């Protein structure tokens, strides 16, 4: 069996779609992390995906673009094997 990969989903332009994709990635045996550029929108679709991600114990980090977000995102990218930006 191959080593576990670390997958980072960066939610930028379509956060709801990024969360949906990350939920699907939890079906793999790989570790999934999510970083959002800013706050997640408040919608039923986002809430539904967040519930599934919380159940799967997937960490979600909301970066504040006004702060040190670029450095935090760079660290996350370096710490993961695969990065998806949606």
Task: Give domain limits for the chain.
Answer: 6-85
Whether this model's pTM surpasses 0.85: yes
Full pLDDT tens readout for the chain, 86 residues: 468 999 999 999 999 999 999 999 999 889 999 999 999 999 999 999 999 999 999 999 999 998 899 999 999 999 999 999 99
CA–CA gap between residue 3 and residue 86 (Å, rounded): 25
Reading the block at residue 15, the tokens are: 């956060």
CA–CA gap between residue 41 and residue 81 (Å, rounded): 27
Q: Which CATH number applies to 6-85: 3.40.50.410, 3.30.465.10, 3.40.718.10, 3.40.50.1100?
A: 3.40.50.1100
């Amino acid at each position: 069996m191959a080593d576990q990969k670390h997958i980072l989903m960066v939610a930028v332009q379509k956060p709801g779609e990024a969360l949906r994709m990350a939920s699907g990635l939890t079906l793999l045996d790989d570790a999934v992390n999510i970083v959002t550029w800013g706050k997640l929108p408040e919608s039923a679709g986002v809430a539904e995906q967040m519930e599934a991600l919380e159940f799967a114990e997937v960490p979600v980090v909301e970066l504040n673009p006004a702060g040190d977000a670029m450095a935090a995102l760079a660290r996350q990218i370096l710490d993961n094997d695969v990065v998806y930006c949606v």
